[in-house]
Amino acid sequence: MRKFRSLFISHGAPSTVIDDIPARHFLEQLGQTMPRPRAIVLISAHNIARKTVVGTAVQWQEWHDFGGFAPELYQMQYRPSGAPELALQIAQALVADGQDVAISDDTALDHGAWVPLKLIYPQADVPLVTISLSHTMDNAAHWALGERLGQILPDDVLLMTSGSITHNLRDAFSRMQNAVGEYTVEQYASEFIADSYLALNTQGKAFWLDWQNRLRHAHRAHPTPEHFLPLLIARAAAGMEGEAPSVTPLHQSIELGVLGMDVIGLNWGPH
């Protein structure tokens, strides 16, 4: 069985693209150090639909789906080409597998997509296909989506999933308003991240389908699941037929003491 390469990125705030933080500097050099894929299939925590939607746009355009940030963010552009033929092939394969799938030529890229991509591939020169999360799909259905993508995506296509290894915005905003000086790391965040890595290396499907009850502090680290589901999908895609994938922590940092900015490669070694 071939190894399948997938990449999970904690995308952070829209301002990650301009902030002087470790995660930004790491992403800026990542595209120079990893092999260039023929295309990217990207799943963002901010792209959620009623069913699985595969993006067939010929040309993508950044969507400034946020408010209250620096004016320069709203002037930024990121406009890679699409890969509509690949998108249709993916959609057809998912439909053949019995999944409820739609296609869309909407050109909007949410910040969970274009912000990390702009840092990794600033020339916007890698074609892109998007796949949405679904409001109506549970952990098992999103896991099944990841497994199927692991089977059908060509070797030279990178699966990139974008979310956050921890995502409690209430805790983050509270710290922004009240903290003085450096932010101390909350124990719940560090323990949840540590447990997530341990599970990535040792646990299979049954554990991940029940991650909210199996991982310590899961409900505080993720009051809602959409920012963790991209990691679930990447893990499912990388561990074929029960195999345990190799897990590479490519980057680890934490902002505001609670928002993990981890970037994780799954089966990230040479093919």
| Average pLDDT value for residue range 235-252 | 84
State the pLDDT confidence band at 104, using cuts at 50, 70 and 90.
Answer: very high
Q: For 198-207, write each residue's pLDDT tens digit.
A: 999 999 999 9
DSSP string, 186-227: PHHHHHHHHHHHHHHHH--HHHHTTHHHHSTTHHHH-SSSTT
| Average pLDDT value for residue range 252-269 | 92
Q: What is the DSSP letter of 239?
A: S
Position 243 scores a pLDDT of 65
Q: For 133-184, write each residue's pLDDT tens digit.
A: 999 999 999 999 999 999 999 999 999 999 999 999 999 888 877 765 678 8
Position 256 scores a pLDDT of 92
> Residue 240 pLDDT more than 70?
no
Q: For 24-38, write each residue's pLDDT tens digit.
A: 999 999 999 988 999
| Average pLDDT value for residue range 241-260 | 88
* Alpha helix segments (H runs only) across 83-221: 84-96, 111-120, 139-152, 169-178, 187-202, 205-208, 211-214, 218-221
Position 51 scores a pLDDT of 95
| Average pLDDT value for residue range 17-46 | 95
Position 2 scores a pLDDT of 41
Position 241 scores a pLDDT of 56
Position 1 scores a pLDDT of 36
Integer angstrom CA distances of residue 77 from 80, 82, 124, 152:
10, 15, 10, 31
State the pLDDT confidence band at 228, using cuts at 50, 70 and 90.
Answer: very high
Cα torsion 247, 54, 12, 60: sign: positive
Residues 149 and 232: their CA atoms lie apart, in Å, by 12
Number of CB atoms found within 10 A of residue 181's CB: 5
Integer angstrom CA distances of residue 181 from 22, 51, 168, 177:
18, 44, 21, 12
State the pLDDT confidence band at 74, using cuts at 50, 70 and 90.
Answer: very high
Position 5 scores a pLDDT of 80
Query: Are 62 and 68 a contacting pair, CB within 8 Å?
Result: no
Residue 185 amino acid letter: V
Query: Are 129 and 219 a contacting pair, CB within 8 Å?
Result: no
14-23, 91-100, 175-184, 229-238: lowest mean pLDDT where? Answer: 175-184
Position 269 scores a pLDDT of 60
Rg (CA), the chain: 17
